[in-house]
Each structure stands twice: as structure tokens, then as C-alpha cells.
Amino acid sequence: ATADRIYNFSAGPATMPVPVLQQTAEALIDVNGTGIGIAEHSHRSKTFTAICEGAEAACRELANIPDDYHVFFVQGGASLMFGQVPMNFLTPDKTADYLNTGSWSKKAIKEAKLFGNVNVACSSEDRNFCYIPKDVSYSDSPTYVHFTSNNTIFGTQFAVEPECPDGAYLVTDASSDIFSRPIDVTKYGLIYAGAQKNLGPAGVTLIIARKDVVDSGSGDLTTMLQYRTQAEAGSLSNTPPTLGIYMMKLVFEWIKGQGGLAAVAERNEAQATKLYAALEASSLFSGTADVDSRSKMNACFVTGDADKDAEFVAFCKQRGMDGLKGHRSVGGMRASIYNAFPDEGIDALIEAMKDFEAEKG
Ligand code: PLP
């Protein structure tokens, strides 16, 4: 059933582990021998509540998440979180610091300005977001510091989390690199990530949040926009995205089976290193991000000629590689190589680069 699959370099929704897809295909008809499919079970059923608790437990185990953190699942995607975070934690008399490293950061900044003061503590917009700034200038006493750990569109990534001023807490949009490497959750007040790159299908968003941070959120918001609602209800305040949570649980288990976060990080590192080395060796293609800021999840590269870029994308498509067209704000190509991306796909892309260069370079 998997014979016709091709290499999917899509930035998201992205390729998923094949065993997860296979198990889900079976579970759609009958999950855990209940005679009912996973998408057909009541979210109040014993079957589903066990799955939801299992997803939370697997997540906690993977990332070593302490008990003073909530782990829960919401809807609305990272885009809703851009607004929901400041809506909960920012007021007109408070300031939040934002690190501006790309389009998603900018969107988060725009939303935060609706609720309080925003200090843009650094920006890499001067060079079309091709780097992670080293100099960060914080305001006096920010409530929180928000950053985008991996900039999906521009192919840059924080190598380590930024420093956080005393009294503040870190908030990160980890949508495109969550669980691609070990993460020290205790450094964060809140982590959010849409599932559709490293964790599962679109429609479910993972939140990991310190309990006191959740408690500090506004109580004046509509119920579903208060983080405490789903945090305290174990994601079951209303009907959650049951299928997405089921698949996320399988993905967590798959990561564990791969050896955990350190093991997937090693594989991601090896894949990215190989691909960037091929780009460096090429006289036709070049990477767009500064070397010290390069993402291990999204490699952006160009030939310098838009027509040739388009030709290369078509060339790859003929060889069974899809999703390589770069985002319009960078152009060229983008190879998204999340956790589930197979090693052979990297080799296929490098071979295509060499063959294309020999033919048309
Ligand atoms: N943040 C990052 C880093 C992303 O890569 C994306 C989507 O690609 C988003 C936010 C937006 O996510 P969503 O479509 O789930 O709102």
C-alpha cells in the first residue's frame, strides 16, 4: 500500500511516519478491537479518554515534562495562539518582548499589539530573515519573551533558546521543530505547536504550559480562549480533535521507538548536514540562510535564476519528489525534512541536484 508513495518535502502538512499511517488506517475502521473507528468514538468513551491520557503521558515521557506543567491539546492552530497568548497574559500596562525572525514572528507581534505593549527585542528583517540575530535588547521588565524556534519559511532556527530576563518567561512557537531535538521544558512558560509538521495531522495544537502561567491568564475571556479551560479539563472541556490526538499519540510512540528525542535529533542533524554539504559543494545551488543560523528542518536554496529554480522543481517532480517549491518570500527551493522524512529522500534530492547541475548547470 505504500509502494506509490513519493518523497514529500512539503513544509506542512508534512510527511508522517508510515507505521503511524498504517495503524491509523486500521483504527479508522476499528480501534483497539472495540468495533468502532477512532473518528466515531465519543470523546467521553473509556476508549477515547484512555487514548487522550495516553497521548499526554507519552508526550510527558518523551520531553521529560515535570508535574508543574500542563500538557493539553487545543484547536485553532499556531495562528490562533499568536492572539491567544497575549490575550491571556498581556494587558495595556504590561510589555512582552518579541524576537522578530520571520513572517510567523511578525504575525505574532501584530496580534500581541492588540493587547499590550510590544518591544521588538531584535529583528533579522534587514536581510530578509536569513539569520538569527545575536544581539537582543530586552525591555526593563517584560512579562514574557516570545520567539519562533524554527522559521519554516526562511529556513533558520535557534540553535539554543534565547536568554530570558529575570522575572519573565519564555513563550515559543515551536510549530516547525517541536520534538525534533531534546527540549528543556523548564526554561519555558508556554510552548505551542501546530501538529502538522512533526506531530500529526492538521487540526490539533499541542500546548505545554507551566501551571502558574496558565493560572495567571485573564479570567475575563470567552471560556474557550482561556488556557485554563482545556488545561484543567484534560483537553476534554468540549469535543477535541479526537483523530488528531490519536495520531499524535502514535507519533509520540513512534519517536520513542526511534530512541527518543536525542535519537531523532541525531538523524535530523545527519540529514541536514548531508544536504547542506551538498549545497556547499554545488556550483549551481546555494543555501539562503547564514551558516550559523541554518535550520535542520527546512533547507532553503536557490540557483539565482527563477526560471532555473522552476525547472529544477519540475525535474525533481519527475523523479518522485514533491513539495520543493520555495515560499514566495524567499523563492527557489525549500526542502522540509521533518522527523518522519526518510534518509533515502535526502539521497534522492542530492542525486537530482548533481544530475541537474551536470545537465543544465
Ligand atoms: N508558526 C510556524 C513556525 C509555522 O511554520 C506555521 C505554519 O506553517 C504557523 C505558525 C501557522 O500555523 P497554523 O497554520 O497551524 O496556524
Residues in the ligand 1 pocket, defined by CB under 6 Å? 12, 77-79, 104, 148, 152, 173, 175-176, 194
Taking CA atoms only, the protein residue closest to ligand 1 atom 14 is 77
Probe residue for ligand 1, chosen from 80, 109, 129, 176 as the CB with the greatest number of ligand atoms within 8 Å? 176
> What average pLDDT does the segment 203-217 reach?
98
Supply the residue whose CA is at minimum distance from atom 12 of ligand 1.
Answer: 78
Backbone angles phi, psi at 8, to 5 degrees: -105, 105
Cell of 208: 505545554
Q: What percent of the chain has pLDDT over 90?
A: 98
Peptide bond into 182 cis (omega under 30): no
CA 129 – ligand 1 centroid, Å = 16
Q: Which residues share a beta bridge with 13?
A: none
Whether 282 has a binding-site annotation, put simply, is no
pLDDT value of residue 2: 62
Asked if residue 196 belongs to a known ligand binding site, the reply is yes
pLDDT digits (tens, 9 = 90+) for 85-128: 999 999 999 999 999 999 999 999 999 999 999 999 999 999 99
The average confidence (pLDDT) of the chain is 97
Rounded to 10 degrees, what is the CA torsion of 12, 17, 18, 21?
Answer: -70
Burial level of 114, CB count in 10 A (0-12/13-18/19+)?
A: exposed
Provide, rounded to the nearest whole percent, the portion of the chain with pLDDT above 70: 99
Pick from 148, 154, 172, 175 the residue to mutate for probing ligand 1's pocket: most ligand atoms within 8 Å of its CB.
Answer: 175
Is residue 1 over pLDDT 70? no
| pLDDT tens-digit series, residues 132-144 | 999 999 999 999 9
Residues that are catalytic? 104, 173, 197
Residue 170 cell numbers, joined = 519564555
- The tens digit of pLDDT for each residue in 63-84 reads 999 999 999 999 999 999 999 9
Can you give the pTM of this predicted structure? 0.98
- Domains delineated in the chain: 19-257 (3.40.640.10), 260-360 (3.90.1150.10)
123 marked as binding residue: no
Concatenated DSSP letters of 169-200 = EEEEE-TTTTTSS---GGGEEEEEEETTTTTS
pLDDT the model gives residue 361: 75
Q: Is 173 annotated as a binding residue?
A: yes
- CA 67 / ligand 1 centre spacing (Å): 28
Give me ligand 1 centre to Cα 162, in Å.
20
